[in-house]
């Protein structure tokens, strides 16, 4: 067992200096945020995106949410007998981005899914209750490509591989 004196002047100092020197030569990974955008992984779970035109008003996302962050209001159109979503509000202040709401959503593409936006800080918690007109963003690719369509990483929801 080494004594405190051995630990101070032993190989530990040299090893840590070696780590520092190695990192001096490696490519820098820090970026000048927020001037530069941070790289975000394809499965990143940020602020939700909701598509009213895709949603069928089944309320599964509202019922599965473990912290009751989703509040929906809907009515049945007497003409078409379809459920119309009047309100889809999400309290991003209590949501912990588990992704269960996206997972249970039965539509394809998903009517609710987690997007890349994470810049939500505010001084007022009440501003973290987002209504559906704030939960906007691009639609995800459908999980099942159309018949005859070429299957690529992008069509499966992944990123295209860089050219070899
Ligand atoms: S990500 Fe999880 S906690 Fe957030 S709204 Fe969806 S189900 Fe609720
Ligand atoms: S689970 Fe999907 S389809 Fe059902 S209410 Fe929620 S967003 Fe709409």
Digit-coded pLDDT (tens) for 91-111:
999 999 999 999 999 999 999
Q: Which atom of ligand 2 is nearest to the CA of 104?
A: 1
Burial label for 142, CB within 10 Å (0-12, 13-18, 19+), is middle
In 3D, which of 24, 12, 129, 148 has the Cα closest to residue 68? 129
Which pLDDT score, from 0 to 100, does residue 9 have? 64
DSSP β-bridge partners for residue 9: none
Q: What is the pLDDT of residues 33-81, one digit of tens each?
A: 889 987 888 889 999 999 999 999 999 999 999 999 999 999 999 999 9
Mutating to test ligand 2, I would choose from 53, 100, 112, 140 the residue with most ligand atoms within 8 A of its C-beta, which is 112
Centre of ligand 2 to C-alpha 60, Å, is 6
Q: What is the pLDDT of residues 11-29, one digit of tens each?
A: 888 999 999 999 888 888 7
Residue 74 burial (CB count, 10 A): 16
Whether the predicted pLDDT of 162 surpasses 70: no
pTM: 0.76
């Amino acid at each position: 067992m080494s004594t405190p004196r051995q630990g101070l002047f032993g190989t530990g100092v040299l090893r840590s200096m070696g780590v520092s020197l190695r990192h001096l030569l490696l490519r820098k990974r820090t970026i000048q945020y927020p001037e530069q955008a941070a790289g975000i992984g394809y499965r990143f779970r940020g602020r939700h995106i909701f598509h009213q035109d895709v949603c069928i008003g089944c309320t599964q996302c509202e019922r599965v949410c473990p912290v009751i962050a989703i509040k929906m209001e809907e009515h049945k159109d007497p003409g078409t007998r379809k459920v119309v979503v009047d309100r889809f509000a999400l309290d991003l202040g209590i949501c912990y981005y588990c992704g269960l709401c996206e997972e249970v959503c039965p539509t394809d593409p998903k009517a609710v899914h987690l997007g890349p936006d994470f810049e939500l800080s505010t001084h007022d918690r009440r501003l973290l209750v987002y209504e559906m007109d704030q939960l906007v963003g691009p639609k995800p690719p459908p999980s099942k490509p159309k018949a005859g369509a070429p299957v690529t990483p992008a069509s499966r929801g992944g990123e295209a591989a860089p050219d070899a």
